[in-house]
Amino acid sequence: MRSYQPIWEKIKADGKCTISCATVHAKRLKKAVIKEKYMDTDYNLHNNSEFIIKIKKTANPLESYVEFTLKTYPKALSGED
């Protein structure tokens, strides 16, 4: 299993995930989870989705929250009405 795959699996199952991390790692985390989403070809073939990612800073300048939200819409199959 790849390092960030469990995060993507949780987002896919729950539709939402918030992770606390060091501020310097927030952009890396965001990029890695986006990559995991696009590597999941079965999910992408069967669903349209809106992937919202917010990085929120806390009172502590060394800590951030990365909030992932996934809204999924099933794709209409071609040829069916």
The tens digit of pLDDT for each residue in 22-36 reads: 999 999 999 999 999
The tens digit of pLDDT for each residue in 54-77 reads: 999 999 999 999 999 999 888 776
Q: Which domain range does residue 21 map to?
A: 5-74
Tell me whether residue 36 is in a domain.
yes
How many domains does the chain fold into?
Answer: 1
Percent of the chain, pLDDT > 90?
78
Give me the residues paired with residue 55 across strands: 66
Tell me whether residue 79 is in a domain.
no
Tell me whether residue 80 is in a domain.
no
Residue 56 near residue 23 (C-beta atoms within 8 A)? no
Tell me whether residue 26 is in a domain.
yes
SS3 readout for the chain:
CCCCHHHHHHHHHHCEEEEEEEHHHHHHHHHHHHHHHHHCHHHHHHEEEEEEEEEEECCCCCEEEEEEEEEEEECCCCCCC
